[in-house]
Every structure is written in C-alpha cells, then in structure tokens.
Chain A
C-alpha cells in the first residue's frame, strides 16, 4: 500500500530555519514533490526531487534519500507569509501519473 507521513503541525519564529520531514512507502517511485497550500487555496508547486540529494531554490531547499524513503523541505529566513500547510506528494509511475499526497504539515510562523 501507500503511506506518506509528515508531522501534523510545526511552529517556528520569523527569521528562523525549519525542516519539515516526509517519509514514504509506495509501490513505485518516480519523484517527490513539495507543495505549499494556504488555507482555502490551491496547492502551489515548491520543489521536485527524483534523484538523491539536495535541490536548492532560493529560501527553500528539498532533500531526497530514495534508499531511506525520506525527504525534507528546508525553509530558511522564515517570513510570516510562510505560514501554510506543506504537502509532500509522491509520483509512483510515469510523468503523467497521479500524485499521492501526505496529510500535510501545518506550519505556523510567529513574530
């Protein structure tokens, strides 16, 4: 079966660094995605990893270890607007196949 686990909630302060972990057990693997979702809005794409290692994109970085079934999203220099839910999603098949989402991690950034 498919299982994607993330912490339910995290809190951090403005300017800090936070790491959101995701572990997955899926029957196939063809990429892991991180999306940001503000309340009542659509998920917006943040990052994509298909090979092991770190992908950096401005204040956001994402890491993948396929052998461990593990990824993390690192957010630096946190801003209040980063308060949102962060969704880990795995694509098990070819590039057009569906995404399986975790339940999301609600991040609250306080002043």
Chain B
C-alpha cells in the first residue's frame, strides 16, 4: 500500500541553525500538509500546499518557515533559524484530490530537537 515517507526520522540541531525536513507524499496525491506535535500536546496545522503554492497557513507558520516542492516527488519544510520551541515531531500528510470522504494520510514524522 502506498505511503507517505519522511526523512530524516530524527534530527538534532543547534539553535539558530537551518533545518530542512523532507517528505515524499503518495504519488498521485495533489494536496500536501505539514503538521507539528510538541511532546505531549495536540497535533497542530502548519501549512497546506497545492499546485505549487501555499493554499493555507496557520499563525505558527511565520517567516522562519518555508515550503517547497523542488521536484515531482519531494515536499520540504525549511526552518531558517531554529528556536528551542521548534522542538517537536513534524508530520507530513497528503490527500489525493480533496474530494468527499477522503482522508489525510500521515507520514511517520521527523522528530526535531533544537538544543
């Protein structure tokens, strides 16, 4: 069964450094999302992406964040200058066409630790 994949599974970085989290959505899916989950807290929406542009973003997704689809398969989340509070699990998700009854499929996540 097709699945969303993410790399790396874990990333440790120093405060102020840039990180890039990578996702490969399911191949025939058209809508892509990034969510994060701080340890012990709820899953929070960051950004959605469709047709090579951001379709929606939350207030968490400030100027330090950016997303890209550099080729036909990868979908990346970049944090320009990491802060301690960026430590979280970051999940990528995708939806096929966004039609009735469709659900979002989540990747296994990248655990980011900012020191």
Residues of chain A at the chain B interface (Cβ within 8 Å): 31, 33, 35, 40-45, 48, 50, 87, 89, 94-104
Contacts and interface: CB of A to CB of B under 8 A. Distances in A.
- Which of A87, A99, A102 gathers most chain B CB within 10 Å? A99
Nearest to B33: A98
Given A42-B91, A43-B91, A44-B106, A100 B98 contact: no
B98 A94 contact: yes
Nearest to A31: B101
Given A33-B103, A50-B100, 5 more contacts: A42-B107, A95-B97, A96-B30, A97-B98, A101-B43
B24 to A, nearest CB: 14
Contacts, number: 61
Contacts of A41: 108-109
Contact of B106 (A31, A43, A102): A43
A-B complex: 10 closest residue pairs judged by Cβ atoms: A96-B98, A95-B98, A42-B106, A101-B43, A98-B45, A103-B42, A96-B31, A45-B103, A101-B42, A42-B108
Q: How large is the interface on B (under 10, 10 to 19, 20 to 34, 35 or more residues)?
A: 20 to 34
B74 interface: no
Interface in B65-115: 89, 91, 95, 97-109, 111
B56 interface: yes
Contacts of B56: 97-98
Contact of A48 (B43, B98, B103): B103
Interface of B: 30-31, 33, 41-45, 48, 50, 55-56, 58, 89, 91, 95, 97-109, 111
Nearest to A102: B42
Contacts of B33: 98
B45 A99 contact: yes
Contacts of A35: 106
Contacts of A45: 103-105
Contacts of A97: 48, 56, 98
A89 B100 CA distance: 16
